[in-house]
Chains A and B, each alone.
Chain A
Amino acid sequence: MDWEIVVGLETHTQLLTESKIFSGASTAFGAEPNTQASAVDLALPGVLPVLNAKAVEFAVRLGLAIGATISPRSVFARKNYFYPDLPKGYQISQYELPVVQHGTLKIAVEGGEKTVRILRAHLEEDAGKSLHEDFKGLSGIDLNRAGTPLLEIVTEPDLRGAKEAVAYAKALHSLVRWIGICDGNMQEGSFRCDANVSVRRPGAPLGTRCEIKNLNSFRFMEQAIEYEARRQVELIEDGGTVVQETRLYDPDRNETRSMRSKEDAQDYRYFPDPDLLPLVINEAEIERIRALLPELPQAKRERFARDYGLAAYDAAQLTASRESADFFEDLVRASRAEPKTCANWQTGEFAAALNRDGLEVGHSPVGAEALGALLRRIADGTISGKIAKEVFEAMWRREAEGPGAADAIIEARGLEQISDTGAIEKMVDEVLAANARQVEDYRAGKEKAFNSLVGQVMKAAKGKANPGQVNAILKKKLGG
C-alpha cells in the first residue's frame, strides 16, 4: 500500500528594510562583528523597542499578494528563553494575533495547478549569531543580525511530497522577490525554510510530524524531506512509531538527526510585550500599500497568455521573475516582432546563455533593446534566423554593445543576407549544373533531393542567401 507524504513549510524571510525591526541599526550583511548593534540590539538596561513601519508595510504587501486577511489589530509577544545570542532573554514575535492570516499561493504541480493554504505570516526579530570557532574554548557572539526583521510564513499541511514542497518554496521565493520584500539570498540566510514532515496512508488522519530545520537550499529541502519520509515509513513498517521532535538536516551525510524531542521543548512563557502597543492597521493604510503593489505573478501570467497569445507554459516561464517579465515586454516593444517570436528567443537562446553563464536577467550582457534590434533584422530580411543566432552569440561575447550591437556585428562580419534575385539565380544555376544526379532524382519524384539542392545553394552562399528566395527560385528552375 502507498504512503502519502504530508509537508507543511515555515519560511523565515528576511525583510529588505534598511534598519532593524525595533532599532535604527543597519541590517546590511557582512559587516565586522557587533558593528551594527545599537543599544537596543544589545539589550542594554533601559532601552525600548520601536516598531519599524517599513517592516509592517512589507508584511502587508505579502498579505495582499497572497490574498490574505490583514489583521486590523495584531500583537507582539515575548518568547522567553535564555541563549547568549538572544540579548534580551526573549524574542519579540507575533504569537496569538499575527499580522497576516489565511492566504493562498498557487503552485504548478504535475498535471496542473495547486492552491496551497497559508495559515499565517507574522513579524518577528532575528537573533544574533554564536561563533564557536577561533576562540579557544570560548564562544563569540555577533549581534549584527540581532533584531533583523523576519516575516515567518507558515503553510497548512497542504503539500504532498518533496517535489511539491520545493515547488511551493520556489513560488514563494519568487513572490517575495517579486514584491520586493526579501532579496531571497539563501546563502546569506535571507530565505530559510523549516519543513514539518509526516506520513500516512491515503485518507488516514495526519501522522505524527517531525520538524526539519536548516534547509537552506531547494536541493537540500528535497533531499531532506525525501530522507525523512523514508525514515518515517521504514520506522512504521518495522512496527515503530514516529516521535514528534525537531530534527536537523545534515547535507554532508544526507540524513536528518534528532535535535530535541517534544518533551525537551521549552516553555517559552509567551505574553504580550508591554513595551509595544498592539499593531493597528487601518483600511486606508492597506489601500495605500495595495496601490504600490506591482502586478502580481499570477495576474501577469494570465495577461501574457491573453494579450500576447502565448501558451500557458511560455507565459509561466516568462513571468518566473519580475525582471524576466519586464524584459519580455521591453523586447516586444523594441523588436516590434510577433510576441511568440520574442518568447521563443527569450526562453530559447537568451535563457540558455543566461543559464550557461549563471547570470540573472538583470545582469545579461544583451539588453532587451539590443535583442529587439536583432529580431528586427530577422523580420526585415537582413539576416536569417540561423545567422541571427551567430550574431546573438557575438553580442553575448560583447563584440559590440548597446542597441546598435546587432547591426555593428552584421556589418563587421558581412553577414547581411543575399536577397538579390540575380545573384541567387546565378548560384542556383551553378548548383543545378554541378548536381545533375539530384536534379534527376527530384524529377523522378524524390522530394529529398530538393532539400539537398537547397543545402548546396546555401552552402555556396555561406548561409547568407535568403532561404525563401532560394526555395522559390530552385522550384521554378526545376520546372515548377
Chain B
Amino acid sequence: MLNASLSEMSAALESRKISSVELTQLFLGRIAKLNGELNAFITADAPRALKDAAAADARRATGQSGPLLGIPVAHKDIFCTEGIRTTCGSKMLADFVSPYDAHVISRFGAAGAVLLGKTNMDEFAMGSSNESSYFGAVKNPWRRSAVPGGSSGGSAAAVAARMAPAATGTDTGGSIRQPASFTGVCGVKPTYGVVSRYGMIAFASSLDQGGPMGKGAADLAALLNVMAGFDARDSTSLDRPPEDYARDLERPVAGLRIGLPREYFGDGVDADVAARVQDAIRWFEGQGAKTVEITLPNTKLAVPVYYVLAPAEASSNLSRFDGVRYGHRAAEYADLYEMYCKSRAEGFGAEVKRRILVGTYVLSHGYYDAYYLQAQKIRRLIAGDFSDAFAQCDVIMGPVAPTTAYEAGAMSGDPVKMYLGDIFTIPASLAGLPGMSIPCGFDSKGLPVGLQAIGNYFSEARLLNVAHQYQKATDWHIRVPDAFPL
C-alpha cells in the first residue's frame, strides 16, 4: 500500500480493505522509522493525523466517499495550519501556531484528507537545496550525501521515501519542479492564480504558487482538483469555472506538438540529464508526437531578473516578522530599534538576510528604475517569448534542471552558482505559466532526472495528460530508493 497510487488507496478504503486509521498508521510508522535519517518532516503530529483519519473513516461509514477521503497528505510547512505549528523553516517562526488554516489546508480538510504532518523546506522557501532550513538539511533518499533540491525538498523527500502518499509544495522559481526532479517524484506548478495563496506564507507574491507533489500524474490531478479554485480572500486568485484536471488523462499524445527550446539543450546541461530527457522525448515521438525546435531568446536574463524581483518582494513581505506581535523576539534589547535589529538578526538565517538586503537595495531610491522597473520590463519580454513559442507548439519540453542532485555543501560557498541551477524553471515562473516535473530516468550515479513540461496558461490538464501517458509506459515514478525498501 505504501507505493500505491491515490486511486488504488481510495479503492482499498472504499472496499474496506483498509481503514484510513490503518493507512495513516502505515505512513506514520514509515515517518517514525525514516525521518531521523532524512529530516523530511519538521512536525509530524501523529495524534492529529489519527484524529483526521478516524473522522474520515466515520464519514465513510455514513456513506460519504471521495478521491481523497481518508488519504494522508503531507503539507509543506509554509501553509498555515490551525493548531499545528507553522515554521516556514525558520527560527523566526519556530514556535508559531497559526490561528487559522490556509485555503489549501481547508480544501484538503473539506475533502477528508488526513493531515499527516508539516514538511521541511528552505527557510521562507529561499533556496534550491533545502540546506537553509533552521530545522536542518533534508537528505535525498536516493543518495543521502546529496541534497533533495528545494525549497519544497521536505515534501519531495517524503514522497520519494514513501513517508507520504502525496504532499503539497510551493513554487516561486522552481521550488516544486526542481526538488521533484532531484528526488524522482512528480510535481506541478499550476498557472499563477489557480491555487489560492491565502495562508501560504509569502516569499515573492507575484511568483508564489502552491501545487501538488506525488508519485504520478494521475495522483497530481486528484490533488489539484482539491487545491485549485477561486478564493475571494486572494485578490490574485482567478475566478474561473472549476475544472476536472483528470479529464484528459487518457487522451493519446499522437499529434502533440512538443516545442524544444534551443536554450534548454545547450552547454551547461549534464550529458546524462540531456540523454534521459532526449530518451523521453523520443518516446513521445514514437507515440506520434511531433517535435519542433523553438527559441526562448531571453532565457539567460531570467535568473538575474528573478533575483531582482523575488528579493524585492521578499524584503517587503518579510518586514512583518519584527518580533512585535508573534515570532522570535530577542531576549534583551535597549530600545525599539535594537529590538528590531536583534530579533531579525537572530531570527533569520544567512540566505534570507542576503535576499532581504538585495531586495532592499533594488527598491531603494535611485536604484529602483535601474533594477526593479527594468526587471519588470524584461519579465514581460520573457512572457512574450513563451507566447510566441506557444504559437508553434502545445507543450514545451526540456530538463527541469541542468544537473541531478548535487552533494550537500557543494553550493554553499557560491550562492550565484546555486541560483543558476534554476535557469530552466524560473522562466515559466516569471511568465506565470504551468510547469511540471516528470521522472524520466537516472544518471550514472543513480540519481533521478526530471523532464520538464511547460504548458500555456490553464493547460494543467494537458500537462497531466502528457505525463500520465508517459507514466503508463514507464516505471520511473514508482521506483523506490534501494536504501529505503518498502
Contact = CB atoms under 8 A, between A and B. Distances in A.
Given A45-B86, A82-B340, A274-B313, A88 B235 contact: no
B3 interface: no
B320 A48 contact: no
Point out which of A46, A84, A276 has the most chain B C-beta atoms below 10 A from its C-beta: A46
A42 B235 CA distance: 18
Contacts of A274: 204-206, 236, 313
B235 A50 contact: yes
A269 B100 contact: no
Contacts of B312: 271
A345 B96 CA distance: 67
B232 A269 contact: no
B235 A44 contact: no
A271 B363 contact: yes
A45 B201 contact: yes
Interface stretch (B221-229, B322-330, B407-415): B322-330
Interface in A41-82: 42-51, 78, 80, 82
B316 A48 contact: no
A84 B235 CA distance: 26
Given A88-B319, A90-B319, A274-B206, A46 B98 contact: yes
A275 to B, nearest CB: 5
A271 B199 CA distance: 23
A98 B205 CA distance: 22
Contact of B336 (A42, A84, A88, A277): A84
B262 to A, nearest CB: 31
Nearest to A42: B325
A255 B315 CA distance: 39
Contact of B372 (A44, A267, A271, A277): A271
Contacts of A269: 315-316, 360, 363-365, 368
Interface string B300-330: 0000000000001101101111101110000
A46 B80 contact: yes
B467 to A, nearest CB: 30
Given A84-B336, A87-B325, A267-B365, A45 B320 contact: yes
A44 B88 contact: no
B147 interface: no
B400 interface: no
Given A43-B325, A46-B98, A78 B316 contact: yes
Interface residues of A, number: 29
Interface residues of B, number: 44
B66 interface: no
Contacts of B96: 45
Nearest to B363: A269
B234 A48 contact: yes
A89 B322 contact: yes
A478 interface: no
Interface string A371-405: 00000000000000000000000000000000000
B316 A271 contact: yes
Nearest to A78: B316
A141 interface: yes
B233 interface: yes
A275 B205 contact: yes
B316 A46 contact: no
B182 interface: no
Contacts of B319: 80, 82, 88-90
Nearest to A50: B235
Given A141-B324, A269-B316, A48 B198 contact: yes
Nearest to B87: A45
Point out which of B80, B233, B336 has the most chain A C-beta atoms below 10 A from its C-beta: B233
Contacts of B313: 274
Contacts of B252: none
Contacts of A141: 324-325
Nearest to B327: A45
B206 A89 contact: no
A28 interface: no
Given A46-B199, A274-B206, A84 B99 contact: no
A131 interface: no
A39 interface: yes
A44 B101 CA distance: 12
A88 B320 contact: yes
B170 to A, nearest CB: 11
Given A45-B201, A46-B202, A48-B198, A89 B316 contact: yes
B198 A47 contact: yes
Contacts of A267: 364-365
Contacts, number: 98
A39 B99 contact: yes
A44 B322 contact: no
Interface in B232-268: 232-236
Contacts of A276: 235
B145 to A, nearest CB: 33
Nearest to A49: B235
B236 A50 contact: no
Interface string B102-129: 1000000000000000000000000000
A277 B235 contact: yes
B101 to A, nearest CB: 10
B364 A44 contact: no
Given A45-B93, A277-B235, A39 B325 contact: no
B198 A46 contact: yes
A189 B202 CA distance: 33
Interface in A247-290: 267, 269-271, 274-277
Contact of A50 (B202, B233, B363): B233
B324 A275 contact: no
A274 B363 CA distance: 14
B316 A50 contact: no
A275 B208 CA distance: 11
Point out which of A49, A84, A277 has the most chain B C-beta atoms below 10 A from its C-beta: A84
Interface string B130-145: 0000000000000000
B316 A90 contact: yes
Nearest to B100: A39
Contacts of A39: 99-100
A80 B199 contact: no
A213 to B, nearest CB: 20
B231 to A, nearest CB: 9
Contacts of A87: 320, 324-325
Point out which of B100, B199, B200, B320 has the most chain A C-beta atoms below 10 A from its C-beta: B320
A42 B324 CA distance: 10
Nearest to B78: A46
Contact of B98 (A45, A50, A270): A45
Contacts of B360: 269
B76 interface: no
Point out which of A90, A141, A269, A276 has the most chain B C-beta atoms below 10 A from its C-beta: A269
A47 B199 CA distance: 6
Contacts of B99: 39, 44
Contacts of B201: 45-46
A46 B235 contact: no
Contact of A277 (B80, B86, B236): B236
Nearest to A51: B235
B333 to A, nearest CB: 12
B468 interface: no
Contact of A46 (B200, B206, B340): B200
B88 A45 contact: yes
Contacts of A88: 319-320
Interface in A101-136: none
Q: 7 nearest interchain CB pairs?
A: A89-B319, A274-B206, A269-B363, A274-B205, A46-B199, A43-B320, A45-B201
Given A271-B372, A277-B235, 15 more contacts: A45-B80, A45-B86, A45-B96, A45-B201, A45-B321, A47-B199, A49-B235, A50-B233, A84-B324, A88-B319, A88-B320, A139-B336, A270-B363, A270-B368, A276-B235
5 contacts: A44-B100, A50-B234, A84-B322, A89-B318, A271-B312
Interface of A: 39, 42-51, 78, 80, 82, 84, 87-90, 139, 141, 267, 269-271, 274-277
